[in-house]
Amino acid sequence: MTADAATIARAMVEQARQYLPLASEVESSLKNDAPDCARLASLIGIFRATPNPYAQLSKRFWQTRTNPGLEKDFYQYIDAYDSGFEAFRQQIFEDIRTGCAAGRAPSAAQRENGLKWMQMTSTVSKFEHIVNELSKRIGG
């Protein structure tokens, strides 16, 4: 593993640790018939506004997949991280966010669709995987 990959991996684990509880909170809020709309809008806004600093690295590390160690499959962690953020950039979450910002709680259908999207894309699981598995790979 190059020092570059290790540095990126450590930063990614720390950021995933930061975003995991936020993604979990969105998921929990969507399960609630009366979510805290201001908090839900804020959480979705955080994910929608946060640029993914690793988005362009997947292709680079895909090219190193024949290398030993972390570089062999590092692109998969990068893709998982990107996918975790990308889920919140879908229209359903923008509709929930803007509705909440305007004082309208999400409908049952919106909450259900948001939950289905999060489950289909394994949003929370992807952050968990990065925290649990990648941190083992880098020794932290």
Q: Rounded to whole angstroms, how far apart are CA atoms 27 and 116? A: 10
> Model confidence over 39-67: pLDDT tens digits?
999 999 998 888 777 766 656 665 655 55
* Between residues 4 and 20, the one the model is more confident about: 20
Contact 54, 12 (CB under 8 A): yes
Q: What angle, 0 to 180 degrees and rounded to 10, lies between the N-to-C axes of helices 108-120 and 91-101?
A: 140
pLDDT band (50, 70, 90) for residue 86: confident
- H or E element that contains 69: none
Cα-based distances in Å from 94 to 43, 97, 100: 11, 5, 10
